[in-house]
Amino acid sequence: MGRWSEERVVSAAPDASSLAAARKLARQGPWSDTGSNDVLVWGKCQGSGKTPYQVSVDTAVPAYRCSCPSRKFPCKHALALLLLWSRGEAADGGAETAGFAREWAAQRAERATVRERRRSDQPADPAAQAKRLADRMALMDAGIDDFSRWLTDLVRTGLAAARAQPYAWWDGVAARLVDAQLPGLAEQVRAMGSEVHARTDWANHLLLRAGRWWAVTRAWRRRDTLTPAELADLRVAVGWAVPTAEIQGTEALPGPWLVLGAHRSDDGRLQQQRTWLRAPDGTVVVVLDFAAQSESLATPQLAGVLLDTTVARYPGSAPQRALFTSPAASLGMATDLGEGVGIQEALEAESAAVALSPWRERHPVLLGGVRVSPGGQGWLRDGSGAALPLVDAPLDSLLALTGGHPVDLFGELEEGRVRPLSAVIGGAVVTP
């Protein structure tokens, strides 16, 4: 692998604070036993404890490992090592691979071999496949019935009683859903165990979620009457994954695709990156990337860039999930994101989308001529006086960039709040 540039290292940082901490560590003092080869970069970084942290980076994937307790990937130690390596200040290419790095690489290679062997295995005969599907459906049916009874008890005893329950109560319900092959519902229930204590609007949030969960259980029992798009949305809601190989063989839509914005999230177990794209005909899709805590997410696409690539869409209602089916090449930057709508029109569009798929959590929205105003986490106001609160917004940055002037802003509309992802300012698309 060629040596990374410092810009590439910076783009791999999970957040600004990790990068700032890494720059302070990117010096010779705390480092020892550094080295690199065609794929790996490794080294030991002395922290506050007696034993230095062991840091390994696979630059081909990329993937990261550090013995520190940080839950960020890459952590500040991995970023600092890569900064040193990018400057040629550490990690001599002639050094013998450290034992800890060699062992980690061997484990990764073994897991990759197992995955490849599983993919290359001959598929089971149709009768065996049909039996496995029937067994899974029976397990899921039983899980939905159990979940329905739990929801009935939840409402009967009251939301306040649910809030008084320990986290183990929620985690136990989630564990039963996992056993029933319903991981999508399980993740939502597990998250609710924390959200009922962390959110000031916990009662409204729990009531909304409970309503969605109940709608899922009713729809599951009527799944034979649903359209293909409705059934696909329902499967996403319960966590029924669609193999990537099945999508790669479907029709590929050409570009150029405009990157409207992207967002990264991390729940402590899984990282997710959502990238919203729009085709010349107005079709909007979202590309989802996932990575475990020890892995690196795909490099994010820059908001406003035009990509020469093709995408294939997963089944479901619009906007559909998609994946890239060819390498993405930049065709330059756009000067705008298109024609935005007012807040009332955006809410009406969201209402129509919820009517089609009531368990969809977020909706893309391009608002035109909105002003950012302070107060709480911030607000967006349009020319008619309608307003929406912001969520996960860098309010100071937004206020500084917009200067109180109306701008076109793209974001995700979620539970009546907007998560800003990009804005058009001074004839350029910027990420706040």
pLDDT tens digits for 173-188?
A: 999 999 999 999 999 9
pLDDT at residue 92 greater than cutoff 70:
no
> Would you tell me how many other CB atoms lie within 10 Å of the CB of residue 274?
19
User: Which tens digit of pLDDT belongs to each residue from 336-362?
Assistant: 999 999 999 999 998 998 888 888 888
pLDDT mean over 206-221? 94
Q: Which one has a higher pLDDT value, 415 or 23?
A: 23
What is the full DSSP assignment across 225-274? GS-HHHHHHHHHHHT-PPPHHHHHTSPEEP-PEEEEEEEEEE-SSEEEEE
pLDDT in the model for residue 326: 87
Long-range CB pairs of 227-232, under 8 A, 24+ apart, other chains included: 228/315, 229/315, 229/316, 229/317, 230/317, 230/356, 230/357, 232/314, 232/315, 232/316, 232/317
Bridge partners (DSSP) listed for residue 284: 278
Residue 123 binned pLDDT confidence (cut-offs 50, 70, 90): low
pLDDT at residue 221 greater than cutoff 90:
yes
The rounded percent of the chain whose pLDDT value lies above 90 is 48
- Exposure class string for 296-315: b at 16+ Cβ within 10 A, else e: bbeebbbbbbbbebbbbbbb
Q: What is the DSSP letter of 319?
A: S
The amino acid at 206: L
Crossing angle for the helix pair 126-157 and 202-221, to the nearest 10 degrees: 140
pLDDT at residue 95 greater than cutoff 80:
no
What are the φ and ψ backbone dihedral angles of 41, each rounded to 5 degrees?
Answer: -130, 135
Calculated CA dihedral for residues 342, 343, 344, 345, nearest 10 degrees: 50
- Asked if omega into 62 is within 30° of 0 (cis), the reply is yes
pLDDT in the model for residue 119: 61
- Asked if omega into 319 is within 30° of 0 (cis), the reply is yes
User: Which tens digit of pLDDT belongs to each residue from 309-332?
Assistant: 999 999 988 899 999 988 888 889
pLDDT in the model for residue 237: 92
**Range scoring the smallest mean pLDDT among 113-127, 147-161, 191-205, 292-306:** 113-127
Retrieve residue 198's tokens: 């962390």
pLDDT in the model for residue 124: 57
Name, in order, each residue with C-beta under 8 angstroms of 202's C-beta and a sequence gap of 6 or more: 163, 195, 196
Q: Which helix (H) or strand (E) holds 420?
A: strand 417-425
pLDDT at residue 56 greater than cutoff 60:
yes
pLDDT at residue 139 greater than cutoff 60:
yes
Name, in order, each residue with C-beta under 8 angstroms of 100's C-beta and a sequence gap of 6 or more: 42, 54, 56
User: Which tens digit of pLDDT belongs to each residue from 70-83?
Assistant: 878 789 999 999 99
Q: Is 110 helix (H, G, I), strand (E, B) or coil?
A: helix
Sign of CA dihedral 109, 111, 117, 123: negative
pLDDT in the model for residue 88: 84
User: Which tens digit of pLDDT belongs to each residue from 250-299?
Assistant: 888 888 999 999 998 876 667 888 999 999 989 999 998 887 766 777 77
Query: Is 0.75 topped by the overall pTM?
Result: no
CA pair distance 51, 125, nearest whole angstrom: 54
What are the φ and ψ backbone dihedral angles of 26, each rounded to 5 degrees?
Answer: -80, 65
